[in-house]
Amino acid sequence: MNKIKTIFRGKFFFIFAPFIFLWLLRYIIPNYTISSKTPHWAYIPPKSCLGGCGSIDGLIPFVDWTNALIQFLRKYEIFGLFTFRDFTRGIANYVDKFLDFTEAVLHKGFPSYDVGPLPWIFILTLTIILGFYLRGWRLALLGGACFSYLILFSKRGIWELSMKSLAAISVSAPLAALIGLCLGILAVKRKRFANFLWPMLNILQSLPHFSYLILVVIFVGIGTKAGVIATVIFAFPPMARLTILGLQNISQEIKEAGVMAGCTKWQMLFKVEIPAARSPIMLGINQVIMQCLAMIVIAAFIGQPGLGHDLLIRLQGLRLGEAFEIGVAVVLIAITLDRYSQALALKEPERREGNFVKRNPYLCATFFAIIICSILVFLFPFFNEYPKELTISASVYLDNAIKSFTRSLFVPLGIFRDWMLIYFLMPLKAVFQSMPWTGVILFVGAIGWKLGKMRLALTVMLFVFFIASSGYWVRAMITVYMVFASLIICALIGIPLGIWASKKESRTKIVLNICDIFQTFPSFIYLLPAIMLFQISDVSAIFAIVIYSSIPMVRYTVFGLRNVPQQIIEASITSGCTDRQLLWKVKMPLAFPEIILGANQTLMFALFMVMIAGFIGTVDLSQEIFRALSFSDGGKGLIIGLCVAFIGLTADRLLVEWSSQMKSKLGFKV
Amino acid sequence: MNKEAKISCKNIWKLYGEAPEKFLKNTNNNPTTEEIKKNNYIPAVRDASIDVNTGEILVIMGLSGSGKSTLLRCMSKLIEPTHGQVFFEGNDLLKASEKELIDIRRHKMGMVFQHFALLPHRTVLQNVAFPLEVQGQEIQKREERAKDVIKLVGLEGREKYYPRELSGGQQQRVGLARSLAVEPDVWFLDEPFSALDPLIRKEMQNEFLRLQSMLKKTIVFITHDFDEAIRLADRIAIMYEGLIVQVGTPEELITKPATDYVAEFTKDIPRSKLLNAESIMNEKDKKPYENKVNYNDKIEKIASKVLKSESIFSVVDDNKEVIGSVSKKELIKALFAEDKNE
């Protein structure tokens, strides 16, 4: 009884009360159903009467406004000379020049000079030497294995496709890195610019891939250069972010040492600050490369040729064996690029003394390798172009294997799928679909208020209001339902796995390594097993989301549990805790803020994956965005993208604030 | 202004908080502790005036948060004081343009940092040559000079090492070398040995004294370690909550502490090692006694013979002239200073 009284007295009650009240009210208001033509305004946001009744769905015609802006940018001539679109296309043409070069080197050759593309033997050898240089024989082996696979399994042209993708990445990654670096530096040097840039980065990083694609199609067109530009826009934010963090975290003393040596501002930047922050900046480059790869695969939707394109076609044709082969290629390239760029980020300069060869062993090795390879290519055509007869393909066997696998599991998988749908997903979906928008706004506002930040409360309320008034409320709630369902499953899998993994050093290592590898896969890849196992349904979408987004849940749980100070653990053991008590009374409470951060990351990952899962045919925002893509409806694409971003940002703001408040209560540094 | 002074600080204030300049102006540049607290300002340095004389080692000492590092940074204008003036060789540093400042720092100042602040991507040689590089010296000349300084601090043969390959003591030697590369007039050392092990610290202090005996720089040395201060200092400035509480020679601080705070600080110092006969003698008694001690002898040296004998000893200067006397009474008074008030 007392407990109930305290609930009514606390802030807790005020958070849930209005929400629950509004929710229950829907059973009292008679005309309310989701499908009824005029649902009560408190539940489904009413349609607009602005800008001509009924022309658009939203309370506020954001989509129309955005489209008007896009039209303006397309048509209006700045100084009567060129339109914004001319401008963007002009830039695209410059990008095309670079692209022509990398494509020529990697797979087209220079026909006008009668020079072919770089022979495979060069690429293979140089990759191996680079691997040795960056970390040692293991990395070299990985690089060698990756490219050997690409060469060997090239029956259906995987080598050429990979080279196409790599050509695009080798233009977009440096561009994105450069843009990110410059913006990051500018933000550190100019406080005002930082205030503007930081929220922009937040939004850019939570917009789904497809929103970019639509805008790029409108302003640039389709094809390779459009793919590259979409990729650059998508990939620069993490670089900018890490540059800012890196530059801000340089120790004060190092900066002072630079000033006291009498550096000018430019000398400070190039001789002190950038080199001192080189590790985070290099990690930024690693992120850029991985983002580029992920986006290049997805850019297949706007006609970017390469691995992604063929993967897409094969998935659409349900030729899973062939898709699997290409998927492996993508995954291998992803792991290789990731490990190479990470090794680059962590590489410390090495001291070498002695003569020239001793001081520059890798330079010399490269030089000799080039000479030997040139001779080989000159003498044997085998080394110039790997003969098609010698390539292999396992796609037929894979197809059969996958078929017999799914056939043998057809019944149990079917039962599982139906059970999930009927007892878990459908009820949950109904709950989310019936949530009143007014209630949700009050709910998030109340949480923000409970966390004691009025500004936070207003921001998240505004986010939700935007979604409600844009006309996509019901769809958005379906997206939220998918994310929420995935989050629950991820927590059910991830937290126990994290607890198990954190018990022993050796387990931790293995699990984190697997996490690392899984995280490097472009998200698109996860659709492959999902379709294989569950065909096309909500369950397969959620399956894909869950494998992708369990990673941060596991990672943060392990991190949180392992970071509990050793002293505290020792103190608990000497107090007589059993293992179980140690876990639940000591470790878990201390690791809880970290686990919340993990949940937050999981949520972000899930949101991204939901959008890609639209490809399997879910009925949430992602379906709308796919439609917008096929009609090149930029306004709609952007607004839906913003809806998705705001779903993410609402959760992110609240969870991060909650976690950091808990951390500071526990006395951890935030 | 003292003509000898290399650096002269006049009424330096450094407050943190909202619009501190305005607040200072409103309080006639002399706010009380209560006023500062009431208006939520954090005083780092309060009304500090101090001269650094040419060729001396001035040690600024105080506990963490006492404002000693801030004061040092005001002297080199790494931090802009809220109020006050800093004269460097007679020129007002706070009015100097960015270009003039860069010029002064390039040629006249060197600084050593607590955590070494070496550039991790550069070798020892490149680190030491760095200040010369930013001046635009050509590579051969600057590396030659850098090698000389590296030799001076005893790191010969380690030129091609990277900082992470060196021990803490060695890293700080690189820090010393770097700050000396431009042959500065003024040498700032910000707790240079605090991050080192006690044994290494002692070794580095000796190294520092050796370098100073050769180079004769004007030095401002920050420390929180009183033992270190009395070992190295010509003069010591003690800071407490942003105020300079007392400035004086080590002997002065121990024999005539200005406040209880200083007395508390100096309490545990073995006086016998620090004080000499002159500082404890009875100045009024200038009678020539049979037994004599030199004015500059430390107490630990004369204690046993004075305490053994019942007679009084004359204190004589270098010209054998009697300037005072020492007896058991003075010795005991000096050694057990806590009891002097009773």
Q: 3-class secondary structure for A224-278?
A: HHHHHHHHHHHHHHHHHHHHHHHHHCCCHHHHHHHHHCCCCHHHHHHHHHHHHCH
Contact of B105 with chain A, judged by CB distance below 8 Å, is answered with yes
A260–chain B Cβ distance below 8 A for any pair: yes
- What residues pair up with B246 in beta bridges, in sequence order? B238
Pairwise CB contact (< 8 Å): B133 & A257: no
A422 and A399, same domain (yes or no): no
Residue A244 · residue A184 · CB < 8 Å: yes
Chain A hits for B103, Cβ within 8 Å = 262
Does residue A494 form part of some domain? yes
B115 at interface of A, judged by CB pairs closer than 8 A: yes
- Rounded to a whole number of angstroms, the distance from the CA of B259 to the nearest CA of chain A is 33
Query: How close, in Å, is residue A263 to chain B by CA atoms?
Result: 6
CA separation, residue A533 to residues A416, A458, B243 (Å): 11, 43, 74
| Residues of chain A with confidence (pLDDT) below 50 | 34, 49-56
Averaged over B284-299, what is the pLDDT? Answer: 81
pLDDT of residue A37: 54
Residue B168: C-alpha distances to residues B114, B118, B181, B192, B196 (Å): 11, 11, 20, 11, 6
Residue A21 belongs to a domain: no
Confidence class of residue B172 from pLDDT cuts 50, 70 and 90? Answer: very high
| B133 touching chain A per CB within 8 A | yes
Residue B106 and residue A267: Cβ atoms within 8 Å? no
Which domains occur in chain B, in start order? 5-108+184-266 (3.40.50.300), 271-341 (3.10.580.10)
Last residue of a domain, one of A346, A372, A398: A346
Q: What percent of chain B has pLDDT over 90?
A: 32
The answer to whether the Cβ–Cβ distance between A259 and B105 falls below 8 Å is yes
Q: Considering A311, A346, A381, which residue would you say is the last residue of a domain?
A: A346
How many Å from the N-terminal Cα to the C-terminal Cα in chain A?
38
Cβ–Cβ under 8 Å, residues A326 and A314:
yes
Position A448 in a domain: no
What is the rounded CA–CA span in Å between residue A299 and residue A306?
9
Measure A437 CA to nearest chain B CA, in Å: 42
**Shared domain check, A312 and A373:** no
Question: Which residue from B minimizes the CA distance to A266?
Answer: B134
CB contact under 8 A, A261 and B123: no
What is the DSSP code string of A80-104? Answer: TTEEHHHHHHHHHHHHHHHHHHHHI
3-state secondary structure (DSSP) of residue A623: helix
Pick from B121, B123, B164: which is nearest to A278 by CB? B121
Does B102 contact A at CB distance below 8 Å?
A: yes
Compute the distance between CA of residue A338 and CA of residue A516 in angstroms, rounded to an integer.
10
- A99 contact partners, CB below 8 Å, separation of at least 6: A167, A168, A171, A224, A225, A228
CA–CA distance, A640 with A11 (Å, rounded to integer):
34
* Domain assignment of residue A189, yes or no: yes
**d(CA A340, nearest CA chain B) in Å:** 20
Residues 6+ apart with CB under 8 A from A343: A131, A134, A135, A139
| Closest CB to A263 among B118, B134, B165 | B134
Alpha-carbon gap: B55 to the closest alpha carbon of chain A (Å): 20
* Residue in A closest to B120 by C-alpha: A276
Does B103 touch chain A if contact means CB atoms closer than 8 Å?
Answer: yes
Tell me the pLDDT band of B1, cut-offs 50, 70 and 90.
very low
Nearest CA in chain B to A264: B102
- Mark whether A414 and A371 lie in a shared domain: no
A400 shares its domain with A477: no
Instruction: Please indicate if any CB of chain A lies within 8 Å of the CB of B160.
Output: yes
Chain A residues in contact with B161 (beta carbon < 8 A): 351
Domain with A283 in it: 90-98+158-346
Q: How far apart are CA B134 and CA B163, in angstroms?
A: 20
**How far off is chain B from A351, nearest CA to CA, in Å?**
6
Beta bridge partners of B244: B239
Residues of A numbered 352-381 whose beta carbons fall under 8 angstroms of chain B's beta carbons: which are they? 353
Distance from CA of A494 to the nearest CA of B (A): 38
Measured CA distances, A667 to A389, A506, A579, B59 (Å): 66, 29, 24, 36
Residue A56 domain flag = no
- ipTM of the predicted structure? 0.82
| Beta bridge mates, B12 | B48
Any B CB within 8 A of A271 CB: yes
Buried b (16+ CB within 10 A) or exposed e, A133-146: bbbeeebbebbbeb
Which DSSP category does A301 fall into?
G
Residues in chain A closer than 8 A to B165 (CB atoms) = 351
User: What are the b/e assignments for A486-509, b being 16+ CB within 10 Å?
Assistant: bbebbbeebbebbbebbeeeeebe
Give me Rg for the CA atoms of chain B: 23
Amino acid at A19: F
Q: In this complex, do B134 and A278 lie within 8 Å of one another by their Cβ atoms?
A: no
Residue B259's nearest CA partner among B273, B278, B241, B280 is B241
Give the H/E segment covering residue A326.
helix A320-346
Q: Are residues B114 and A253, on separate chains, in Cβ contact within 8 Å?
A: yes
Pairing mode, strands B186-190 and B109-112:
parallel
Interface test with B, best of A254, A256, A260 (most B CBs within 10 A): A260
Are B119 and A256 an interchain contact pair (Cβ–Cβ within 8 Å)? no
User: How does DSSP classify residue A46?
Assistant: P
**Which residues of chain B have a CB within 8 Å of the CB of A271?**
119, 130, 133-134
Residue of A nearest to B161 (CA): A351
Please write the tens of the pLDDT for every residue from A79-123: 667 777 888 888 888 888 888 888 888 888 888 887 778 888 888
Number of H helices, E strands in chain B: 15, 13
Spell out which residues of chain A touch residue B122, defining contact as CB-CB under 8 Å: 275
Cα distances (angstroms) measured from residue A468 to each of A415, A439, A447, A473, A641: 37, 11, 18, 5, 14
Report the residue of chain A nearest B131, measured CA to CA.
A261
Residue B122 has pLDDT above 60, yes or no: yes
Burial class for A3, CB neighbours closer than 10 Å (0-12, 13-18, 19+): exposed
User: Which pLDDT score, from 0 to 100, does residue B221 have?
Assistant: 94
Clarify whether residues A306 and A186 are in a common domain.
yes
Nearest C-alpha in B relative to A273: B119
Do A503 and A527 lie in a common domain?
yes
- Per-residue pLDDT band for B309 (boundaries 50, 70, 90) equals confident
Q: What is the CATH number of the domain that holds A310?
A: 1.10.3720.10
Tokens of A27: 């059973």
In Å, what is the CA distance from A343 to each residue of A126, A147, A279?
A: 16, 18, 10
Handedness of CA B11, B17, B20, B24 (dihedral sign): negative
Contact B106/A257, CB-based, under 8 Å? no
Whether the predicted pLDDT of B342 surpasses 50: no
* Closest by Cα among B264, B261, B239, B266 to B250: B266
Of the two residues B342 and B322, the one the predictor is more confident about is B322
Bridge partners, A138 (sequence order): none
* Distances A325 to A338, A465, B235 between C-alpha atoms, Å: 20, 45, 78
In chain A, the number of structural domains is 3
Same-domain pairing of A324 and A179:
yes
How confident is the model at residue B310, as a pLDDT?
Answer: 79
Sheet holding B5-16, edge to edge: B42-53, B5-16, B83-88, B91-92
Here the tokens at position A287 are: 């992120």
Same domain, A207 and A333: yes
Pick from B106, B107, B117: which is nearest to A257 by CB? B117
- A122 with A174, same domain: the answer is no
Query: In 3-state terms, what secondary structure has residue B318?
Result: coil
Q: Which residues of B touch A256 (CB under 8 A)?
A: 73, 78, 111, 113, 117
Q: Which of B76, B79, B111, B145 to mutate to test the interface with A (most CBs of A within 10 A)?
A: B111
Question: φ, ψ for residue B240 (rounded to 5)?
Answer: -145, 120
Residue type, A452: G
Amino acid at B1: M
Tell me the nearest-neighbour CA distance from B187 into chain A, angstroms. Answer: 11
Q: Looking only at Cα atoms, what is the longest distance across chain A?
A: 91
Identify which of A251, A256, A348 has the shortest CB distance to residue B162. A348
Within 10 Å of residue A161's Cβ, how many Cβ atoms?
23
A105 within some domain: no
pLDDT for position A43 = 66
Q: Which of A298, A313, A346 is the last residue of a domain?
A: A346
Beta carbons of A259 and B103 less than 8 Å apart: no
Residues A312 and A392 in one domain: no
The whole-angstrom separation of Cα A28 and Cα A24 is 7
Is A65 inside a domain boundary? no
Residue A73's Cβ-side half-sphere holds a number of Cα atoms within 13 Å equal to 18
**Residue A49, number of CB atoms within 10 A of its CB:** 10
Q: Do A509 and A426 share a domain, yes or no?
A: yes
CB distance B316 to B322 below 8 Å: yes
Q: Is A253 at the interface with chain B, CB within 8 A? A: yes
Based on the fold, state whether residues A574 and A661 are members of the same structural domain. yes
Residue A300, CA distances (Å) to A164, A318, A529 in order: 12, 17, 19
Position A115 scores a pLDDT of 78
Task: Identify the helix (H) or strand (E) that includes residue A605.
Answer: helix A588-613
- Number of residue pairs across A and B with CB atoms under 8 Å? 75
DSSP reduced 3-state for B57: strand
Any domain includes A214: yes
- Nearest-Cα distance to chain B for A161, in Å, is 38
- Spell out which residues of chain B touch residue A358, defining contact as CB-CB under 8 Å: none
